[in-house]
Structure 1
Amino acid sequence: MAGNRKAVALCVVVLVLAVAAAGAASAAASCNPAALSPCTSAIMLGMAPTQGCCVQLRAQQPCLCQYARDPSYSSYVTSPSAQRAVRACNVRPNC
């Protein structure tokens, strides 16, 4: 049962990020929250970030502070597991 909840939560996060990215016309072209989808397991489940996740975190580093200020994303990018992923990938947001 808990496994199903986690799977649903992961799907919801990916869907929310994809929809928000599609509707974020006012955001800078390079800031794309959906690009962080390889980090879903690290952010939602606290697993170690994959190499693909670290690549995307580095690419989205200039946007992480923007995401942290956005109520749609803040709970994801400021969560303890997200912060562990950021540290594990040696990403240093300048907020």
Structure 2
Amino acid sequence: MGKSGAAVLIMFVITTLVISPSRCAAAAVTCNAVELSPCANAITSATTTPTPMCCSKLKEQTPCLCNYMKNPFLQKFINSPNARKVADTCGTPFPTTCT
């Protein structure tokens, strides 16, 4: 392998190491409904605006929302009109269908 081949290989390894952790972190969300507790007031009250912490946690937990919707204890909160308002206010996509 020449110098240019080695340089390409090194750049590939560096790029992979730099990009991979963020991909893994995004894919490895730990689904924990308690993480959405900063959103409790906004979800249960039509007049409360979600906090930045709520929006951050909601975005983090977005991959878990379908699982929460299937949970009989969480359904009434996650499927509520206020939960959708909170998601809209936070700019977080809310699943319309779950399989």
> Shared fold (TM-score greater than 0.5)?
yes
RMSD value over aligned CA atoms?
1.6
Task: Name the aligned partner's letter for residue 85 of structure 2.
Answer: R
Q: How far does residue 29 in structure 1 lie from its aligned partner after superposition? A: 6.7
Q: For residues 87 and 57 of structure 1, do their structure 2 counterparts lie closer, same or farther at Cα, with a shift above 3 Å needed?
A: same
In the alignment, structure 1 residue 67 sits paired with structure 2 residue 68: yes
Per the alignment, residue 38 of structure 1 pairs with 38
Aligned length: 68
Per the alignment, residue 82 of structure 2 pairs with 81
Structure 2, unaligned runs of 5 or more = 1-27
Say whether the 8 Å CA contact 1:65–1:93 is kept in structure 2.
no
Structure 1, unaligned runs of 5 or more = 1-27
Q: For residues 70 and 89 of structure 1, do their structure 2 counterparts lie closer, same or farther at Cα, with a shift above 3 Å needed?
A: same
The normalised TM-score by structure 2 is: 0.64
Q: Aligned partners of 1:90, 1:66: CA distance in 2, in Å?
A: 20
User: Which structure has the greater CA radius of gyration?
Assistant: 2
Q: Aligned partners of 2:33, 2:94: CA distance in 1, in Å?
A: 15
Which aligned segments of 4 or more residues in structure 1 are displaced greater than 2 angstroms?
none
**Identical-pair percentage:** 38
Q: Aligned partners of 1:78, 1:57: CA distance in 2, in Å?
A: 14
Q: Aligned partners of 2:90, 2:66: CA distance in 1, in Å?
A: 16
